Amino acid sequence: MKSRVLRALLISALLSGVTAGAQTIGHAAPTVAAPGSGTTVASGRTAAASDSSHGYDAQALRFETHWGSADIIRGANGPVIGTVGWFRDFDMEKLVASSPQAVIEARAFKTNNFRGSLVGGLGALTLAVGTVVTANSSNNAASPILIIAGAGAMVWGAQHLNAGYSRLSRAFWWYNRDLTR
Amino acid sequence: MSRLLLALCTGACILTTRPTLMTAQERSYDENALRVDEQHGTIRIVRGVSETVVAKIGVFRAVDVAALVKPSPNAVAEATIFERNYRPGTWMASLGIATLGAAIGASRISGLNQAVPTSLTIVSVSLITWGGFKLETAHRALSKAIWWYNRDLK
């Protein structure tokens, strides 16, 4: 009788081990709705989990904005691995390549950052020209147009730069999510 | 036979308990991890994949970020630095901008001692710079606070 009980326990334990293992894999790559896209994406956790060097402490990214640019930092006090911002580019897609959803967001960041930098830069130039024309007291009808157009372009550019940072924040959120903890 | 059933039941219990725990662990980051989102001068802190806005930090409106990241001691320490620097930073920068406006205005008043607009300009630049550094420290601390909070999620 005892041997039967033992055998039953052994079978149950074996079954639990097999099922738990299968469910670990199943939950390691859950499908979740991607924010803003309305689509579902598979996590890259399974792949990341197999590599111990991909730990959160060692690899997790964050950024610190200052004076119009952002430093990309690994860890809480880790090294600055790149700087992005006004006319400053960094290969974000390569950096977050291990997470497919992060790559999409990094691409969107790049587009927004380029547009924001270009239009914002042109706006600043137009505003400066308008200011110089006004300061020279020349009765040029174009000066108010230049100032308004320049300021408008700067605002539009700033909004795109902000939208870019929002996408960058999402990219890091996804990248860090797919790291082992 | 009853013992056999009991043993099978015990095995079934083990079988159902472990995966349930793992599901909870896997969901934790997706549902709770925070990130910062800036829109029109307002800092929004959003939670999880659903991006629920859990806090809005305006130019003069601070929120209790420390309470938001409470489960993580390191995050709380950084959040305290953020709170200590953010409001003074915004007030000083704003005061600096206002003083700069006053300096420009004073420079246009004819007959006024030139020392007035000059000193106003110096004060305004100092205030803007000091406020800017305070705000930078605050933003750096917020970034770290969220990093630590997310790190300590399961």
Written as tens digits, the pLDDT of chain B (154 aa) is 556 555 554 544 444 444 343 433 344 888 999 999 887 778 899 999 898 999 998 877 768 899 999 889 999 999 999 999 999 999 999 999 999 999 888 887 888 888 898 999 999 999 999 999 999 999 999 999 999 999 988 7
CA distances from A27 to A44, B19, B43 (A): 11, 9, 33
CB A46 within 8 A of CB A55: no
Residue A67 belongs to some domain of the structure: no
Question: In chain B, what's the furthest Cα-to-Cα distance?
Answer: 109
Beta strands (DSSP E) in A26-180 are: 31-33, 40-42, 61-66, 69-74, 80-85
Q: How confident is the model at residue A126 (pLDDT cuts 50, 70, 90)?
A: very high
Please indicate whether residue A48 or residue B11 has the higher confidence score (pLDDT).
B11
Q: What is the pLDDT of residue A20?
A: 38
Q: What is the pLDDT of residue B137?
A: 92
Q: A93-102, A130-139, A154-163, B91-100: which has the minimum mean pLDDT? A: A130-139
Give the residue from chain B lying closest to A58, CA to CA.
B151
Please indicate whether residue B120 or residue A54 has the higher confidence score (pLDDT).
B120
A166 by DSSP, 3-state: which?
Answer: helix
Residue A74 belongs to some domain of the structure: no
**Residue A38 to residue A56: CA distance in whole angstroms:** 27
Q: What is the pLDDT of residue A175?
A: 94
Domain total of chain A: 2
Q: Is B11 within 8 Å of A9 when comparing Cβ atoms?
A: yes
Inter-axis angle of helices B115-151 and B73-107, nearest 10:
160
Q: Pick from B44, B67, B72, B47: which is nearest to B57 by CA?
A: B44
A48 plus A120 within the same structural domain: yes
Residue A77 belongs to some domain of the structure: no
**Residue A115 to residue A112: CA distance in whole angstroms:** 5
Tell me how close the Cα of A120 comes to any Cα of chain B, in angstroms. 16
A131 touching chain B per CB within 8 A: no
End-to-end CA separation in angstroms for chain A: 45
Q: What is the pLDDT of residue A137?
A: 67
Q: What is the pLDDT of residue A136?
A: 78
Rounded to 5°, the CA angle B141-B146-B147 comes to: 95
B152 touching chain A per CB within 8 A: no
CB A92 within 8 A of CB A175: no
Q: How confident is the model at residue A4 (pLDDT cuts 50, 70, 90)?
A: low
Q: What is the pLDDT of residue B61?
A: 75
A55 touching chain B per CB within 8 A: no
A113 plus A162 within the same structural domain: yes
CA distances from B131 to B37, B41, B93, B127 (A): 21, 15, 5, 6
- Which residue intervals of B33-114 are DSSP H helices? 65-68, 73-107
Please indicate whether residue A23 or residue A138 has the higher confidence score (pLDDT).
A138
A122 plus A143 within the same structural domain: yes
Q: What is the pLDDT of residue A34?
A: 52
Name the residue facing B14 among A16, A24, A32 (closest C-beta): A16
**Residue B81 to residue B65: CA distance in whole angstroms:** 10
Rounded to 5°, the CA angle B5-B10-B15 comes to: 120
Helix (H) or strand (E) holding A36: none
**Residue B33 to residue A172: CA distance in whole angstroms:** 11
**Dihedral angle sign, alpha carbons of residues B68, B72, B75, B77:** positive
Residue A78 belongs to some domain of the structure: no
Mean pLDDT, chain A, whole residue set: 75
B51 by DSSP, 3-state: which?
Answer: coil
Q: How confident is the model at residue A132 (pLDDT cuts 50, 70, 90)?
A: confident
A156 plus A110 within the same structural domain: yes
How many alpha carbons fall within 13 Å on the CB side of residue B29? 24
Helix (H) or strand (E) holding A168: helix A142-177
Helix (H) or strand (E) holding B56: strand B52-57
Residue A155 belongs to some domain of the structure: yes
Residue A171 belongs to some domain of the structure: yes
Domain that holds residue A164: 34-55+88-177
Question: Tokens 């110096």 map to which residue?
Answer: B122
Residue B60 CB partners (closer than 8 Å, separation 6+) = B87, B90, B91, B94
Q: What is the mean pLDDT of residues A47-65?
A: 70
Residue A113 belongs to some domain of the structure: yes
Name the residue facing B49 among A19, A28, A33 (closest C-beta): A33
A165 plus A151 within the same structural domain: yes
pLDDT of A69 over the 90 cut: no
What is the percent of chain A where pLDDT is above 70?
68
**Residue A69 to residue A82: CA distance in whole angstroms:** 11
**Residue A160 to residue A35: CA distance in whole angstroms:** 18
Residue A69 belongs to some domain of the structure: no
